[in-house]
Amino acid sequence: MLVLSRRENEKIRIGSDIIVKIVTISENQVKLGIEAPPEVKVMREEVYQKLKEQIVEASQKIALGEIPDISKMNVNKIKTDSSDKDQQKN
C-alpha cells in the first residue's frame, strides 16, 4: 500500500484520469473530492461490502431456486409496430 501525506487542497492523481483532492481536514475527519470518469465506480468501502454481500446472497438464492433467474425467463416482448400504437391512442 502506498501511503502519502497531503495538506488541504492538495491532490493525488491515480493514472491519467482520476484525481483525489483533500477538501477539508478537521479534528477526526478528512473530506475527499474524487474526480473520475463515469465508467469508474466510486463508493465508500462499507457500501461496496454491503453490495457485495447482497449480490452473493441473491446468487445463492438463485442457485437454490428460491429466486427465479430472470435472465433465463422467456418474457413476452411488447409490440411496438405502428398499428398497435394507433390502437392504444383510441
Question: What is the C-alpha to C-alpha distance for residues 42 and 34, in angstroms, rounded to an integer?
Answer: 8
Query: Does residue 63 form part of some domain?
Result: yes
Question: What is the C-alpha to C-alpha distance for residues 88 and 46, in angstroms, rounded to an integer?
Answer: 47
Same domain, 24 and 47: no
Domains in the chain: how many in total?
2
Calculate mean pLDDT across residues 5-23: 97
Is the full-model pTM beyond 0.75?
no
Q: Is 41 helix (H, G, I), strand (E, B) or coil?
A: coil
Query: What confidence tens digit (pLDDT) does each residue in 26-81 have?
Result: 999 999 999 999 999 999 999 999 999 999 988 888 888 877 777 777 766 666 65
Same domain, 52 and 69: yes
Q: How many CA atoms lie within 13 A of 18 on its CB side?
A: 9
Query: Does residue 88 form part of some domain?
Result: no
The pair phi, psi for residue 7, each rounded to 5°, is -105, 170
Same domain, 47 and 71: yes
Question: What is the C-alpha to C-alpha distance for residues 69 and 58, in angstroms, rounded to an integer?
Answer: 10
Query: Does residue 2 form part of some domain?
Result: no
C-alpha grid cell for residue 73? Answer: 425467463
User: Domain of 28?
Assistant: 7-38
